[in-house]
A = this chain, B = another copy of it.
Amino acid sequence: MIATLLIQHEKLEQLPSGGTLSPYGVHQKHGQITSQALQLLSSQRRQFSNTYISVKLDETSGVAVMKLKRPPVNSLNMELLTEFAINLEKLEIDRGCRGVILTSAVPRIFSAGLDITEMCGKNADHYGEFWRAVQEMWLKLYGSSMVTIAAINGSSPAGGCLMALSCDYRIIANNKKYTIGLNETQLGIVAPFWFKDIITEVIGHRAAERSLQLGMLYSPTDALKIGLVDEVVAEDKVQSTASAVMAQWLTLPDHARQITKSMMRKPSLDRLVTHREADITNFVSYITRDSIQKSLQMYMEMLKKKGR
Protein backbone atom coordinates (compact mmCIF):
# COMPACT_ATOMS: atom_id res chain seq x y z
CA MET A 1 0.00 0.00 0.00
CA ILE A 2 2.86 2.25 0.73
CA ALA A 3 4.82 1.12 -2.27
CA THR A 4 6.44 3.86 -4.28
CA LEU A 5 4.64 6.49 -2.27
CA LEU A 6 7.85 8.29 -1.86
CA ILE A 7 8.31 9.19 -5.46
CA GLN A 8 4.67 10.12 -5.87
CA HIS A 9 4.19 12.53 -3.07
CA GLU A 10 1.96 14.87 -5.03
CA LYS A 11 -0.63 12.14 -5.41
CA LEU A 12 -1.10 11.45 -1.76
CA GLU A 13 -4.07 13.76 -1.36
CA GLN A 14 -6.12 11.56 -3.63
CA LEU A 15 -5.76 8.52 -1.43
CA PRO A 16 -8.75 7.34 0.55
CA SER A 17 -9.07 9.38 3.70
CA GLY A 18 -11.40 6.98 5.42
CA GLY A 19 -9.17 3.93 5.23
CA THR A 20 -7.68 2.11 8.14
CA LEU A 21 -5.75 -1.07 8.57
CA SER A 22 -7.07 -1.72 12.00
CA PRO A 23 -10.44 -0.50 13.32
CA TYR A 24 -9.63 0.11 16.96
CA GLY A 25 -13.13 1.02 18.00
CA VAL A 26 -12.57 4.77 18.24
CA HIS A 27 -15.88 6.52 18.42
CA GLN A 28 -16.86 7.64 14.98
CA LYS A 29 -17.41 11.32 14.61
CA HIS A 30 -19.91 11.35 11.76
CA GLY A 31 -22.69 8.80 12.17
CA GLN A 32 -26.19 9.32 10.83
CA ILE A 33 -27.84 10.17 14.13
CA THR A 34 -25.03 12.56 14.73
CA SER A 35 -25.85 14.14 11.41
CA GLN A 36 -29.42 14.79 12.53
CA ALA A 37 -28.27 16.17 15.84
CA LEU A 38 -26.06 18.46 13.84
CA GLN A 39 -29.04 19.96 11.99
CA LEU A 40 -30.52 20.90 15.32
CA LEU A 41 -27.31 22.44 16.46
CA SER A 42 -26.49 24.24 13.27
CA SER A 43 -28.22 27.50 14.10
CA GLN A 44 -25.94 27.92 17.10
CA ARG A 45 -22.96 26.93 15.17
CA ARG A 46 -20.98 30.03 14.53
CA GLN A 47 -20.61 31.18 18.08
CA PHE A 48 -21.87 29.99 21.42
CA SER A 49 -21.09 31.82 24.55
CA ASN A 50 -21.69 30.55 28.01
CA THR A 51 -20.89 31.88 31.42
CA TYR A 52 -17.30 30.68 31.54
CA ILE A 53 -16.52 29.37 28.08
CA SER A 54 -16.69 31.07 24.70
CA VAL A 55 -16.55 29.13 21.48
CA LYS A 56 -16.04 30.58 18.04
CA LEU A 57 -16.11 28.23 15.08
CA ASP A 58 -14.66 29.28 11.76
CA GLU A 59 -16.64 27.25 9.29
CA THR A 60 -14.19 27.84 6.47
CA SER A 61 -11.25 26.30 8.27
CA GLY A 62 -13.28 23.96 10.48
CA VAL A 63 -11.39 25.25 13.50
CA ALA A 64 -13.02 26.31 16.76
CA VAL A 65 -11.34 28.58 19.28
CA MET A 66 -12.44 27.75 22.79
CA LYS A 67 -11.63 30.32 25.45
CA LEU A 68 -11.72 29.97 29.21
CA LYS A 69 -13.15 33.18 30.62
CA ARG A 70 -13.50 33.02 34.36
CA PRO A 71 -11.47 35.85 35.89
CA PRO A 72 -9.37 36.29 37.80
CA VAL A 73 -7.54 32.98 37.16
CA ASN A 74 -9.84 30.65 35.22
CA SER A 75 -10.08 28.32 38.18
CA LEU A 76 -12.04 25.24 37.23
CA ASN A 77 -15.32 25.13 39.14
CA MET A 78 -18.22 22.77 38.51
CA GLU A 79 -19.96 25.14 36.12
CA LEU A 80 -16.90 25.82 34.00
CA LEU A 81 -16.07 22.11 33.81
CA THR A 82 -19.62 21.27 32.81
CA GLU A 83 -19.76 23.97 30.15
CA PHE A 84 -16.41 22.79 28.88
CA ALA A 85 -17.56 19.19 28.49
CA ILE A 86 -20.85 20.18 26.83
CA ASN A 87 -19.21 22.55 24.38
CA LEU A 88 -16.51 20.09 23.48
CA GLU A 89 -19.14 17.42 22.89
CA LYS A 90 -21.08 19.82 20.64
CA LEU A 91 -18.00 20.41 18.54
CA GLU A 92 -17.24 16.69 18.54
CA ILE A 93 -20.52 15.89 16.77
CA ASP A 94 -20.36 18.92 14.49
CA ARG A 95 -19.30 17.86 10.99
CA GLY A 96 -18.04 21.37 10.37
CA CYS A 97 -15.51 21.24 13.16
CA ARG A 98 -12.25 19.32 12.81
CA GLY A 99 -10.00 21.06 15.32
CA VAL A 100 -10.11 23.04 18.56
CA ILE A 101 -7.68 25.63 19.84
CA LEU A 102 -7.91 25.86 23.61
CA THR A 103 -6.83 29.17 25.12
CA SER A 104 -7.64 31.77 27.75
CA ALA A 105 -9.61 35.01 27.59
CA VAL A 106 -8.00 36.15 30.84
CA PRO A 107 -4.65 37.97 30.68
CA ARG A 108 -1.55 36.23 32.02
CA ILE A 109 -3.29 33.04 33.06
CA PHE A 110 -4.21 29.93 31.08
CA SER A 111 -5.88 28.24 34.04
CA ALA A 112 -4.92 28.04 37.71
CA GLY A 113 -6.46 24.58 38.01
CA LEU A 114 -9.26 23.25 40.20
CA ASP A 115 -11.35 25.69 42.20
CA ILE A 116 -10.70 25.28 45.91
CA THR A 117 -14.16 26.51 46.86
CA GLU A 118 -15.66 23.37 45.30
CA MET A 119 -13.74 21.25 47.79
CA CYS A 120 -14.45 23.10 50.98
CA GLY A 121 -17.48 23.37 53.27
CA LYS A 122 -19.69 21.21 51.05
CA ASN A 123 -21.03 17.71 51.59
CA ALA A 124 -19.72 14.40 50.32
CA ASP A 125 -22.23 14.25 47.46
CA HIS A 126 -21.01 17.57 46.19
CA TYR A 127 -17.38 16.51 46.30
CA GLY A 128 -18.23 13.33 44.43
CA GLU A 129 -20.08 15.23 41.71
CA PHE A 130 -17.27 17.73 41.42
CA TRP A 131 -14.65 15.04 41.00
CA ARG A 132 -16.80 13.32 38.39
CA ALA A 133 -16.90 16.61 36.47
CA VAL A 134 -13.11 16.89 36.61
CA GLN A 135 -12.81 13.35 35.26
CA GLU A 136 -15.40 14.05 32.56
CA MET A 137 -13.57 17.14 31.35
CA TRP A 138 -10.41 15.10 30.96
CA LEU A 139 -12.03 12.07 29.33
CA LYS A 140 -13.61 14.37 26.74
CA LEU A 141 -10.49 16.41 26.07
CA TYR A 142 -7.87 13.66 26.06
CA GLY A 143 -10.25 11.39 24.15
CA SER A 144 -11.33 13.96 21.58
CA SER A 145 -11.17 12.79 17.99
CA MET A 146 -10.58 16.38 16.85
CA VAL A 147 -7.14 17.96 16.62
CA THR A 148 -6.65 19.83 19.91
CA ILE A 149 -4.04 22.53 20.33
CA ALA A 150 -3.28 24.38 23.55
CA ALA A 151 -2.43 28.05 22.99
CA ILE A 152 -0.99 28.66 26.43
CA ASN A 153 -1.11 32.42 26.87
CA GLY A 154 -0.41 32.53 30.59
CA SER A 155 0.48 30.46 33.61
CA SER A 156 -0.79 26.92 33.72
CA PRO A 157 -0.25 25.09 37.01
CA ALA A 158 -1.89 21.86 38.21
CA GLY A 159 -5.27 21.27 36.52
CA GLY A 160 -4.40 23.97 33.98
CA CYS A 161 -1.30 22.02 33.03
CA LEU A 162 -3.35 18.84 32.77
CA MET A 163 -5.65 20.49 30.22
CA ALA A 164 -2.65 21.58 28.16
CA LEU A 165 -1.05 18.12 28.42
CA SER A 166 -4.24 16.54 27.13
CA CYS A 167 -4.13 18.40 23.82
CA ASP A 168 -2.30 17.18 20.72
CA TYR A 169 0.14 20.09 20.65
CA ARG A 170 1.24 22.79 23.09
CA ILE A 171 2.38 26.31 22.22
CA ILE A 172 3.33 28.62 25.10
CA ALA A 173 4.02 32.37 25.17
CA ASN A 174 7.65 33.29 25.74
CA ASN A 175 7.19 35.14 29.01
CA LYS A 176 9.38 34.27 31.98
CA LYS A 177 6.60 35.12 34.39
CA TYR A 178 4.48 32.27 33.08
CA THR A 179 5.00 28.85 34.56
CA ILE A 180 3.56 25.44 33.79
CA GLY A 181 3.66 22.16 35.68
CA LEU A 182 1.88 19.70 37.93
CA ASN A 183 2.79 21.36 41.22
CA GLU A 184 0.34 19.50 43.46
CA THR A 185 2.93 18.26 45.97
CA GLN A 186 3.91 21.87 46.69
CA LEU A 187 0.39 22.28 48.04
CA GLY A 188 0.64 19.13 50.11
CA ILE A 189 -1.64 17.19 47.79
CA VAL A 190 -1.05 14.40 45.30
CA ALA A 191 -1.83 14.42 41.60
CA PRO A 192 -4.28 11.58 40.81
CA PHE A 193 -2.97 8.57 38.93
CA TRP A 194 -4.30 9.72 35.58
CA PHE A 195 -2.48 13.08 35.85
CA LYS A 196 0.62 10.98 36.50
CA ASP A 197 -0.07 8.71 33.52
CA ILE A 198 -0.39 11.66 31.14
CA ILE A 199 2.71 13.51 32.21
CA THR A 200 4.65 10.23 32.08
CA GLU A 201 3.48 9.73 28.49
CA VAL A 202 4.52 13.25 27.53
CA ILE A 203 7.91 13.65 29.25
CA GLY A 204 8.86 10.07 30.19
CA HIS A 205 9.05 8.22 33.49
CA ARG A 206 12.18 9.80 34.98
CA ALA A 207 11.31 13.42 34.21
CA ALA A 208 7.74 12.79 35.38
CA GLU A 209 8.87 11.31 38.68
CA ARG A 210 11.17 14.21 39.48
CA SER A 211 8.65 16.73 38.26
CA LEU A 212 5.81 15.30 40.34
CA GLN A 213 7.83 14.65 43.49
CA LEU A 214 9.07 18.25 43.51
CA GLY A 215 5.84 19.75 42.20
CA MET A 216 7.93 21.61 39.65
CA LEU A 217 6.72 24.67 37.79
CA TYR A 218 8.72 25.37 34.64
CA SER A 219 9.43 28.52 32.71
CA PRO A 220 8.46 28.29 29.03
CA THR A 221 12.02 27.56 27.92
CA ASP A 222 12.56 24.93 30.61
CA ALA A 223 9.21 23.37 29.76
CA LEU A 224 10.38 23.12 26.15
CA LYS A 225 13.64 21.47 27.19
CA ILE A 226 11.92 18.58 28.94
CA GLY A 227 9.17 18.28 26.33
CA LEU A 228 6.32 19.54 28.50
CA VAL A 229 5.46 21.95 25.66
CA ASP A 230 6.20 21.68 21.95
CA GLU A 231 6.91 25.27 21.04
CA VAL A 232 7.70 28.62 22.68
CA VAL A 233 6.75 31.70 20.65
CA ALA A 234 6.49 35.44 21.21
CA GLU A 235 3.45 36.37 23.25
CA ASP A 236 1.70 38.05 20.32
CA LYS A 237 2.29 35.04 18.08
CA VAL A 238 0.63 32.38 20.21
CA GLN A 239 -2.74 32.46 18.46
CA SER A 240 -1.37 32.77 14.93
CA THR A 241 1.09 29.96 15.55
CA ALA A 242 -1.72 27.81 16.89
CA SER A 243 -3.72 28.48 13.73
CA ALA A 244 -0.76 27.66 11.50
CA VAL A 245 0.02 24.43 13.35
CA MET A 246 -3.66 23.50 13.24
CA ALA A 247 -3.75 24.02 9.46
CA GLN A 248 -0.81 21.64 9.16
CA TRP A 249 -2.47 18.96 11.31
CA LEU A 250 -5.68 19.31 9.31
CA THR A 251 -3.91 18.33 6.09
CA LEU A 252 -4.01 14.78 7.42
CA PRO A 253 -7.03 12.62 6.56
CA ASP A 254 -9.30 12.75 9.62
CA HIS A 255 -10.17 9.11 9.87
CA ALA A 256 -6.63 7.73 9.82
CA ARG A 257 -5.42 10.41 12.21
CA GLN A 258 -8.30 9.79 14.62
CA ILE A 259 -7.76 6.07 14.81
CA THR A 260 -4.04 6.59 15.28
CA LYS A 261 -4.72 9.05 18.10
CA SER A 262 -7.14 6.66 19.73
CA MET A 263 -4.63 3.81 19.48
CA MET A 264 -2.09 5.90 21.42
CA ARG A 265 -4.49 7.20 24.07
CA LYS A 266 -6.95 4.39 24.66
CA PRO A 267 -4.92 2.59 27.37
CA SER A 268 -4.81 5.67 29.61
CA LEU A 269 -8.44 6.55 28.97
CA ASP A 270 -9.48 2.98 29.74
CA ARG A 271 -7.55 3.05 33.01
CA LEU A 272 -9.59 5.96 34.32
CA VAL A 273 -12.86 4.59 32.99
CA THR A 274 -12.15 1.30 34.77
CA HIS A 275 -11.17 2.90 38.07
CA ARG A 276 -13.49 5.90 37.88
CA GLU A 277 -15.70 5.12 40.87
CA ALA A 278 -12.75 4.14 43.06
CA ASP A 279 -11.03 7.36 42.09
CA ILE A 280 -14.10 9.32 43.20
CA THR A 281 -14.40 7.40 46.47
CA ASN A 282 -10.74 8.07 47.13
CA PHE A 283 -11.11 11.75 46.53
CA VAL A 284 -14.22 12.11 48.68
CA SER A 285 -12.73 10.16 51.58
CA TYR A 286 -9.66 12.35 51.49
CA ILE A 287 -11.35 15.70 51.10
CA THR A 288 -13.89 15.11 53.86
CA ARG A 289 -11.25 14.61 56.53
CA ASP A 290 -11.51 17.21 59.27
CA SER A 291 -7.83 18.06 59.08
CA ILE A 292 -8.03 18.66 55.35
CA GLN A 293 -11.19 20.76 55.57
CA LYS A 294 -9.64 22.86 58.30
CA SER A 295 -6.52 23.44 56.24
CA LEU A 296 -8.48 24.34 53.15
CA GLN A 297 -10.60 26.80 55.11
CA MET A 298 -7.50 28.47 56.50
CA TYR A 299 -6.09 28.69 53.01
CA MET A 300 -9.28 30.28 51.71
CA GLU A 301 -9.27 32.81 54.53
CA MET A 302 -5.78 33.82 53.52
CA LEU A 303 -6.77 34.19 49.91
CA LYS A 304 -9.70 36.40 50.93
CA LYS A 305 -7.52 38.63 53.13
CA LYS A 306 -5.01 38.95 50.34
CA GLY A 307 -7.81 39.76 47.94
CA ARG A 308 -9.05 42.75 49.95
Contacts and interface: CB of A to CB of B under 8 A. Distances in A.
Given A21-B282, A205-B202, A260 B190 contact: yes
A115 to B, nearest CB: 5
Contacts of A230: 210
Nearest to A187: B15
A206 interface: yes
A133 interface: no
A210 B299 CA distance: 40
A227 B206 contact: yes
B205 A3 contact: no
Contact of A286 (B23, B187, B253): B23
Interface in A14-46: 14-24
A117 B286 contact: no
A114 to B, nearest CB: 5
B22 A279 contact: yes
A98 B72 CA distance: 38
A73 interface: yes
Number of copies of this kind of chain in the complex: 3
A276 to B, nearest CB: 13
A8 B2 CA distance: 52
Nearest to A161: B2
Nearest to A212: B260
Nearest to A299: B15
A139 interface: no
Q: Is the interface of A mostly helix, strand, loop or mixed?
A: helix
Contact of A256 (B14, B116, B190, B257): B190
A48 interface: no
Interface in A84-128: 109, 112-117, 119
Q: A75, A190, A210, A279 — which one has the most chain B CB atoms within 10 A of its CB?
A: A190
Contacts of A75: 2-4
A303 B213 contact: no
A234 interface: no
Interface in A52-87: 72-73, 75-76
Contacts of A169: 210
Per CB-CB distance, the 3 closest pairs between chain A and chain B, nearest first, are A2-B113, A16-B295, A3-B75
11 contacts: A2-B116, A2-B157, A3-B113, A3-B117, A4-B303, A16-B188, A19-B295, A21-B189, A22-B282, A209-B265, A213-B257
Given A2-B160, A16-B292, A201-B209, 4 more contacts: A11-B302, A17-B188, A19-B187, A215-B252
